[in-house]
């Protein structure tokens, strides 16, 4: 089992494919399996690194100190150090996009290009999610079936879900292997406390901000705020996409991300 010593704890990771390194960073309470539906799409062109945040999956789950998105960024860069990788592309989803903001701010020399998916600059300057959605994010259902059903409804449209029952089963398997409640709480608090607003104009790497137009977990208008705040950032909306735009609209979203990364590849 590949484990990397990172900042005093061990992170589980996997490497897929070959080419320029691409780090895929998942969101709140999620391990590397969240990328399973699309990881091979990117591995066809890149050396893809996926991993489990501290507190999730097969990584260590320290209770202290309190988790922060900046801490998660330091963990991810420490993983690159372990792998001997100096420079990488980055693609973060949801809280993973918040983590990537800190990577670009604190470690600009480690970023070739960056994609920020369905994320926000933080609640202080961003658009908050509806109260009922936040309550579910704060207190995930203890019952795996209920948790999977709720998440499915927020991730994809009802019509797509009806035609893809395997996705519901995928979410159910993940819900049955969810992090412990205290770890989920630490992840929620880290995500909610994120605030990189004042530092976003410092980001010098090429950035693509991509977001579904029907996202309730991270309301869509946050994408425009990020794109306006980050110098030169590009903006792409996936029409009809919910928080799982990259799954339901896999071909469209994947093509947009791949085209952006290709334009900022060393082999271009």
- Check whether 140 has a pLDDT greater than 90: no
Per mean pLDDT, which range of 3-7, 139-143, 226-230 is the poorest? 139-143
Task: Answer yes or no: do 156 and 223 share one domain.
Answer: no
> Do residues 51 and 159 both lie within one domain?
no
* 268 — pLDDT class (breaks 50, 70, 90): low
Whether residues 185 and 247 share a domain: the answer is yes
Name the token pair of 236.
Answer: 């792409």
Per the domain annotation, does 85 fall within a domain? yes
Among 211, 59, 41, residue whose Cα is nearest residue 120: 211
What's the distance, Cα to Cα, between the start and end of the chain in Å? 35
pLDDT tens string 176-202: 999 999 999 999 999 999 999 999 999
Query: What's the distance, CA 115 to chain centroid?
Result: 10
pLDDT tops 70 at residue 172? yes
pLDDT tens digits along 79-117: 999 999 999 999 999 999 999 999 999 999 999 999 999
CATH of the domain at 190: 3.40.50.1820
Instruction: Tell me the average pLDDT across 259-264.
Output: 97
For 115, the 3-state DSSP assignment is: strand
Task: Please write the tens of the pLDDT for every residue from 191-238.
Answer: 999 999 999 999 999 999 999 999 999 999 999 999 999 999 999 999
Domain encompassing residue 233: 3-127+180-263
How many C-beta atoms lie closer than 10 Å to residue 60's C-beta? 16
Looking at the fold, whether 118 and 157 belong to one and the same domain comes out as no
Residue scoring higher pLDDT (133 or 67): 67
Residues 70 and 56 in one domain: yes
Mapped onto helix, strand or coil, the DSSP state of residue 93 is strand
119 in the same domain as 58: yes
pTM higher than 0.85: yes
In this structure, are 16 and 106 located in the same domain?
yes
Residue 162's pLDDT is what? Answer: 96
Same domain, 173 and 188: no
Q: What span, in angstroms and rounded, lies between the C-alpha atoms of 242 and 95?
A: 15
Which of 224, 244, 215 lies closest to 155, judged by CA?
A: 244
Q: How many domains, the chain?
A: 2
* Helix spans in the chain (H): 39-43, 69-83, 95-106, 131-138, 144-155, 158-163, 165-176, 181-192, 221-229, 245-248, 250-263
């Amino acid at each position: 089992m590949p484990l990397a010593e990172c900042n005093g704890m061990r992170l589980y990771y996997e490497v897929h494919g070959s080419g320029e390194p691409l780090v895929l960073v998942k969101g709140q309470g999620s391990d590397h399996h969240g990328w399973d539906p699309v990881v091979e799409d990117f591995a066809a062109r890149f050396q893809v690194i996926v991993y489990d945040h501290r507190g999730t999956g097969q990584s260590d789950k320290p209770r202290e100190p309190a988790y922060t998105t900046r801490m998660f960024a330091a963990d991810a860069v420490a993983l690159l150090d372990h792998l001997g990788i100096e420079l990488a592309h980055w693609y973060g989803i949801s809280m993973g996009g918040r983590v990537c903001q800190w990577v670009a701010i604190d470690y600009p020399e480690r970023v070739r290009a960056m994609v920020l998916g369905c994320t926000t600059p933080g609640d202080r300057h961003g658009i908050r999610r509806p109260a009922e959605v936040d309550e579910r994010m704060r207190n995930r259902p203890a019952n795996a079936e209920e948790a999977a059903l709720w998440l499915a409804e927020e991730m994809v449209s009802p019509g797509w879900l009806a035609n893809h029952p395997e996705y519901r089963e995928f979410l159910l398997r993940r819900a049955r292997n969810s992090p412990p409640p205290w770890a989920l709480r630490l992840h929620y608090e880290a995500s909610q406390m994120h605030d990189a607003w004042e530092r976003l104009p410092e980001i010098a790497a090429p950035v693509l901000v991509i977001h579904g137009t029907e996202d309730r977990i991270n309301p869509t208008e946050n994408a425009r705020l990020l794109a306006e705040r980050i110098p030169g950032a590009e903006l792409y909306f996936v029409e009809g996409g919910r928080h799982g735009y990259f799954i339901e609209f896999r071909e469209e979203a994947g093509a947009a991300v791949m085209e952006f990364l290709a334009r900022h590849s060393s082999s271009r």
